[in-house]
Amino acid sequence: MREPETTETWVVFQALQGAQSGIRSICTESEWTDILARKPGVNQLVQAGIASETEAEKLARGTSGDAKQRPSRRSTPPADV
C-alpha cells in the first residue's frame, strides 16, 4: 500500500537582525517552526501557506533577477543647426 503524500507548504521570512538583516529567505512551515523555537524575534514572517517552493522563491526574490528594462534603440532625430 502506498503512503499518503503529505503536502508541505512554504513560508517566506525576513531577517531582522545582524548582517543578514533585510534579506528574505524561504523554508517549509515545519522548518519555520523550528527556526522560531531556536531564535525567537530574529526573523519576521512575510507570508505562510505558500503551495510551492517556486512561488515562495518568486515572492522572496521580488524583482531581483528579472530582465532589465533596456532603452529602445530608436535614434533621436538630429537637432537642427
Whether residue 35 is predicted with pLDDT greater than 90 in this model: the reply is yes
In a domain? residue 68: no
* Residue 2, pLDDT score: 61
Separation of alpha carbons 46 and 60, rounded Å: 9
Query: How far is residue 64 CA from its own chain's centroid?
Result: 9
In a domain? residue 69: no
Find cell 517552526 and name the residue. 33
Separation of alpha carbons 52 and 48, rounded Å: 11
In a domain? residue 3: no
- Does the model's pTM come out above 0.75? no
In a domain? residue 37: yes
In a domain? residue 77: no
Total domain count, the chain: 1
* Residue 62, pLDDT score: 84
Cell numbers of 67, please? 530582465
Whether residue 37 is predicted with pLDDT greater than 80 in this model: the reply is yes
Q: Which of 28, 5, 24, 29 is nearest to 13 (CA)?
A: 24
Q: Which range marks the domain in which residue 30 is found?
A: 10-61
CB atoms within 10 A of CB 37: 8
Q: How confident is the model at residue 78 (pLDDT cuts 50, 70, 90)?
A: low
In a domain? residue 72: no
In a domain? residue 54: yes
